[in-house]
Structure 1
Amino acid sequence: MIWELVATVFAGLGGAGIALLIRKLSKQTAPKWLVPVFAGVCMLGFQIQGEYDWYDHQASLLPEGVVVVKKVQEEAPWRPWSYVFPQTMRFIAADVANSAQNKIDPNLILVDLYFFERRTPAKRVPQVIDCLQSARADFTNSFSAESGSQTKWYPLENNDPLIQAVCS
């Protein structure tokens, strides 16, 4: 995050430099307020570009076999442009290549889900997917697939991207 701040400052300096060049070429007839306006616009533009490129950049860094199963696009009043072009600020990826099928019940598959969010480290959460029942459960030390167990299953739609990625 410190490098993003440094890059933003340099974008502002570059914008101010362009405005100073415009003032010099116009023999100082261009208004003085052009310098801070150019600096601010360049800094804001750099930040907006970074917000929109974050998802594509992170998704391109995922190794082969890790599939994005959900994107969360957000709008915010402090980013009015996001109402026209919503930003992807979070997404979930499933490590399908390293998933493991249960030897006793082949309908159960253990898969790692990775939760990515802008400006926070990724979180890994192991999940058990029941392909037959279209459901998922947290994989913990107390996990049990037997009926009557304390395991809480969360139903999923049959066309859920997680079911399609893991069970196909």
Structure 2
Amino acid sequence: MFWELIATISAGLGAAGIALLLRAITLKKLPNWIIPVFAGAGMLGFQIHSEYTWFSHQRSLLPAGVEVVRTAKESSGWRPWSYLYPQTMRFIAADIKNASVNQRYSSLILVDLYFFERRMSARRLSQVVHCEAGARADFTEELVIPSPGEPLSSGWHKLASDDALLRLLCQVKVQQD
């Protein structure tokens, strides 16, 4: 975040420099207020650009085998342009390449999910995905793994049949079998 602040200030100074150059070229016929207007527009423009390119930049940094499974787009009043084009401020990526299939019950897959949020550190959470039941659960000591054919306990959360996590993981399992 510190480097982003430095870059924002630099963008403002650069835009102010362009305004000074325009004033010099026009022999100071442009008003003085154009300098702070250009500086503010430069800083605002840089911030808008960095917020809209954050997701694609972060996605490009993900290693091979880590896939984006969900994104969250947001709009807010202090960013009125986001109502026209919502910004991706959070996303979840799954380490599909290193997901491991349970040796006793091949319908269970352990996967690490990575939670990314703008201006925050990434977090990792291990999840168990049940391909047959179409559900997921946090991998904890309290997790009750059902036997084949048993109903799921309360720690499990149903996933939509077209959920990207379920689709990617269960497709990998089928390919490994």
- TM-score between both structures, scaled by the size of structure 2: 0.92
| Aligned match of 1:70 | 70
Output the CA distance in 1 between the equivalents of 2:152 and 2:64.
Answer: 35
Percent of aligned pairs with the same residue? 54
Question: Does the 8 Å contact 1:145/1:151 carry over to 2?
Answer: no
Partner of 2:175: none
Q: CA deviation at 1:158?
A: 1.2
**1:6-45 deviation line (CA, Å, top 9, x unaligned):** 0111101001100000111111111100000000000000
Q: 1:3 to 1:72 in 2, by over 3 A?
A: same
Calculate the aligned-residue CA RMSD, in Å.
1.3
Query: Structure 2: which amino acid aligns with 1:113?
Result: L
State the partner residue of 1:166. Answer: 169
> CA, structure 1 residues 112+23, in 2 after alignment: closer, same or farther (shift >3 Å)?
same
Residues 147-166 of structure 1: CA deviation (Å, up to 9, x unaligned): 58866110011111110111
2:10 corresponds in structure 1 to: 10
The DSSP-based 3-state class of the residue aligned with 1:52 is helix
Other-structure match for 1:133: 133
Unaligned runs of at least 5 residues, structure 1: none
1:152 to 125, 140, 155: 155
In terms of mean alpha carbon deviation, does 144-153 or 69-78 score higher? 144-153
- Give the letter for the 1:29 counterpart: K
* Residue 119 (structure 1) aligns with: 119
Distance 1:101 1:131 in 2: 10
> Equivalents in 1 of 2:83, 2:122: separation in Å?
26
Question: What residue in structure 1 maps to residue 54 of structure 2?
Answer: 54
